[in-house]
Amino acid sequence: MKIPAIGLLVVLGLAVNAIAAEYVAPRGPDGKHPDLNGVWQALNSANYNIEMHTASHSMQLREGPHGPLPAVKTLYLGAVGAVPPGLGVVEGGKIPYRPEALAKRDENKANWIDRDPEIKCFLPGIPRATYMPQPFQIFQSADSVFMAYQYAGAVREVYMDDPGEAPVDSWMGWSAGRWEGETLVVEVTGQLDSTWFDRAGNHHSDQLKVIEKYTPMSDYHLHYEATIIDPVTFTEPWTISMPLYRRVEENAQLMEFRCVEFVEELMYGEWRRNPLPR
């Protein structure tokens, strides 16, 4: 008997979910909770656009005689500046923007090269740091969790004892963690409103609260989920989810990507004693 392709996919999906449900991760340093130690990386196009999207000429476009073309500032990036297609990671497909916030998103996208904080190597914030196209590392001890990101050397401590409210807003926010069964839950508050979710201009206010969940699904991947709460920008909470994969090559480690020095010419070159042509 032949099984239709879509039926086969459903069967395989159910089988994978059943295997994941039965998986029990090795215990961590405290002997009680899953061991999340390791170098992890997302393998998707969420950093381009967390919503589902088709491929396009550039991350910033202008109208051409027969349709959109790369904006002048991105023209010479060629194929390197193109946007690959992506299935999206937003549950339900669309971000529930308030009308004025959606207009700001579209404006951000139309001015990407001047506005995206990634361009100037500003810290990416949460959740964007998780799916930047570079790995990050989880350091887990018996009573603490620390996360380090290859991009820009970003770091954050996850306080496993209630740390109270954030003393001040910051790029990477204030992270309070707890265990719920096999899942590490992290509530992130106190983030600056300057970070974006992706290169498509998706944004938030300083009222952002992110609830992250890290759940081991096999020896080689975690299920990552982040619920976004920001009543100033969105009409209701919404969630992104994706797998995170363990880097398993020999001597897997974070390397240096100190991009601040890479953008000094962009940001400050005009102030040289003898500025170079721009």
Q: How confident is the model over 67-113, as pLDDT tens digits? A: 999 999 999 999 999 999 999 999 999 999 999 999 999 999 999 99
H-assigned helices in 59-169: 99-110, 112-115
Q: Does 14 have pLDDT greater than 70?
A: no
188-202 burial, b at 16+ Cβ within 10 Å, e below that, comes to bbbbbbebbbbbbbb
Amino acid at 43: L
Q: Give the span between the Cα atoms of 189 and 210, in whole angstroms.
A: 7
pLDDT category at 20 given cuts 50, 70, 90 is low
Residue 165, pLDDT score: 92
Q: Which two tokens stand for residue 229?
A: 């709460």
Q: Which two tokens stand for residue 254?
A: 């974070």
CA distances in angstroms from 203 to 206, 208, 228, 234, 242, listed in the order given:
10, 10, 11, 10, 19
Say whether 184 sits in a helix, a strand or coil.
strand
| CB-CB contact of 148 with 136 (8 Å) | yes
pLDDT, tens digit (0-9, with 9 covering 90-100), for 127-173: 999 999 999 999 999 999 999 999 999 999 999 998 899 999 999 99
Q: Domain locations in the chain?
A: 28-52+88-271, 54-86
Q: Does 16 have pLDDT greater than 80?
A: no
Residue given tokens 């300057």 in the structure block: 194
Residue 254, pLDDT score: 97
| CB-CB contact of 105 with 66 (8 Å) | no
Q: Which of 91-95, 106-110, 190-194, 273-277 has the lowest mean pLDDT?
A: 273-277
Q: Does 36 have pLDDT greater than 90?
A: yes
The distance of Cα 261 from the centroid of its chain, to the nearest Å, equals 23
Q: For domain 28-52+88-271, which CATH number applies: 1.20.1440.60, 3.30.365.10, 2.40.128.20, 1.10.10.10?
A: 2.40.128.20
Q: Give the span between the Cα atoms of 207 and 237, in whole angstroms.
A: 12
